[in-house]
Every structure is written in C-alpha cells, then in structure tokens.
Homo-oligomer: A and B are copies of this chain.
C-alpha cells in the first residue's frame, strides 16, 4: 500500500481540518466541504488505509479520524505551508520588536512575549551560558561590614554577581588585593576549566596572607561561576493553554502539561540540548514527560554567533505552518538586528 496523491490530499484535509476545529473529521463532511469529487464511502476506504499505515487514529468506533503523531510528522515534512509571512504581519512584528533594540536582554524577552501573543501558545526563550566563555576579571566590592559583592565578568560581556556574607572581617585593601590576584590568576581561562580546578586549595596556597577570607569566599566563587554557565529561561503565556478545547475539556491533561512547564530546570535542559535550526518535535518524538506536546524552536544569533533559542510548546494539534513561519521570522529578525551594524560603522 503506498501513499498516492489522493491519500495525501485526504490526509492533508483531515489534518488541517482537525487543527482548526479539534473535532474528529468524518468522511461525509470531507466529501462535502472539500469537494474532491469522490463519495464518503471512497473516502472511508482511503481513511481505513491511512489508519492501517499509522497516519490516523480513531478515538472510538463511531467517531471521525484524528491525526496520529506519525500523521503530523508527514504533514510537517511534506504537506504544510511554512512559507514567508505576509508583509503586513512582518511589519507588525518588526514595529513591536524595534522599540528596545539597543538592549539585548529586553529584546529577547519582548520577542518571546510577542510570540506567545501571536501563536496563543506558551512561548519561551533560552539563552544558554556560553561554555567557551573566558574570564575577564573578578572584583569584590565592599557593601557593609560583613557583606561583599562578588562580580565576575567574562570576555564575551556576560556579568554575574552575588552578594556574599563573610564570617570574618575584611579590609577594603584585602578585597582589592584578592580581586587583583584572582583576576591575574584566572584571566583568559575558560570558565569550564576553572570549575574543574580545585580552586579552594588554590586559594589557600596562593593567598596565604588572605587565607581565612579566601577560604570563606571560595565556595561562593564556584557557585557564581556556575551561574555563568547556567541558561536563562524566559517563559510567557502559559495560561493560553486553557483557551484550547483539548485542555478546557480535560483538566488532568492541562495540569500534567503545566507541571512540565513548572519544572524550569527540566525544560531548560531539554531546550539547551536541542538540535540547531528550525526544529519541530511532535508528541512521542519528545521525551516521555512531553509526549503529548509538540515543540517548535529556532535559533537566534548575535553577530552571527549562536546565542539562544526561541520557541513554543503546545499540544500536538497546533498550526505548525503558521507558527513555524512566525518563529523563523522573529529569529531571523533578531539575528539581523544583532548583526554588526556595518553601515553605521562605515558612516563615521
């Protein structure tokens, strides 16, 4: 049994119909509304074939057909239209994004927010910590008699800081000295390399004059470095899910969905380890916890260098074509915005 033109046509009709209505699609309706010139009975035969091949299923005997994950996969790969966005939509997105284009972090957050608004799904943006980033300098700032702020700056401009409570008194001079020593010792080293080192020992050896202070600070220093490698996750529109018929009918399902979204560490992990490019994963192609969801993600770049991902998560029934187009466009637009502005530089 092979997928001839007519079978594909019927599959496409069923899937786009189901995506719109969330109701199982029957043969009679199809025959009428999509006037393909064949009778319901013929369509039923074809449907039965498509079901045998695994592209469709049945919620129960007397219901219409519903796409399976495999069916969606075929749809996404072969049938759907994820073309260019119409010009007016592009304009609308642009004007919304260009408001704060000088600021990297804000822009990404806005983009994610906008994405959830347009798609009416849950959107997220993730900016993984740069594994290759190298330390630029370390600085301790005095705050009050027993609190200092540790600040670490990486060569790529990432800054992390942490307030630290000390159990021993310090002199401003000591802090300065320690800042300088640490900067000298660790400058240019990869953050990952530093984390593998036995810094605590290092500290007490190199900085005997400051040993008590240094020993106090070492664990926090490691924690702060860790923070540098941590990914940042933004998430928007998780109540959008409840507007969808599949969830407003089925509370259980909605809650198990929410629980996945609540586990930010898990979600971050999934996203960070995801392949690059425009990636769509459908239902059981995802890990067990997300086998009822589909994810679409794409990458955005700064100066052509990969920086993070933007995407949506939703039920397997979603407008794959439109959503993909929007995500693609937003990511491309972000990457363009954060391209080195050569024209500007040329001017001066």
Contacts and interface: CB of A to CB of B under 8 A. Distances in A.
A242 B220 CA distance: 37
A193 interface: no
B303 A144 contact: yes
Contacts of A168: 344-345, 348
A163 B103 contact: yes
A345 B157 contact: no
Nearest to A167: B344
A28 interface: no
Nearest to A162: B103
Interface string A247-261: 010010001001100
Given A157-B147, A248-B251, A303-B144, A165 B220 contact: no
Contacts of A78: none
Interface string A154-191: 01110101111101110000000000000000000000
A98 interface: no
Interface residues of A, number: 53
A340 B146 contact: yes
Contacts of A147: 104, 157, 302-303
Contacts of A151: 151, 153, 159
A329 interface: no
A106 interface: yes
Interface in A72-114: 100-106
A219 interface: yes
B169 A345 contact: yes
A38 interface: no
Contact of A141 (B102, B106, B157, B348): B157
A201 B104 CA distance: 24
A274 interface: no
Contact of A149 (B153, B223, B258): B153
A47 B36 CA distance: 70
A258 B238 CA distance: 9
* Number of copies of this chain that the complex holds: 2
Contacts of A146: 340-341, 344-345
A145 interface: yes
A338 interface: yes
Contacts of A106: 223
A258 B242 CA distance: 10
Contact of A167 (B161, B237, B341): B341
Nearest to A248: B251
B242 A102 contact: no
A165 B184 CA distance: 28
Contacts of A237: 262
B345 A102 contact: no
A239 interface: yes
Contacts of A141: 136, 153, 157, 159
A143 interface: yes
Q: Please give me the 8 A-B residue pairs with the lowest Cβ-Cβ distance, nearest first.
A: A143-B157, A104-B163, A159-B161, A149-B157, A242-B255, A167-B344, A239-B259, A239-B258
18 contacts: A100-B223, A103-B162, A103-B163, A103-B223, A105-B162, A106-B223, A136-B141, A146-B341, A146-B344, A147-B157, A148-B157, A149-B153, A149-B157, A149-B159, A151-B159, A168-B345, A169-B348, A239-B258
